Amino acid sequence: MGTLLKGLIKLLVVACALLAIASFVPGIAIADVPTAFLVALIWGLVMLLIKPILSLLTFPINLLTLGLFSFVVNALLFWSLSTFIPGFSVAGFLPALEGSVLLSIVNGMLHIVF
């Protein structure tokens, strides 16, 4: 299977997961399917480009909390996406935490499969 096809399948699965998370977690709303694809694409870019830098900067506190602070970083990144993407809203930190944890589980399963 080609790399492009794998990437498109991952994007499709993450977009579907975002739609499911939005219907499951109160406080997270996605307007429509194209918005879910946009959120999935930007989430992937954020995890690829911004997350490693933030992980490096927050390494000392992450070390003190035995890695639990990474959940906070992921939630803040997830929450911040809602400020930039119209049609995607996250009502607060707790819905962002729940959504980012569920999305991380989906991404982990995708990493195992692909």
CA distance 114 to 110: 6
State pLDDT tens for residues 40-93: 999 999 999 999 999 999 999 999 999 999 999 999 999 999 999 999 999 999
State pLDDT tens for residues 13-47: 999 999 999 999 999 999 999 999 999 999 999 99
**pTM, full prediction:** 0.92
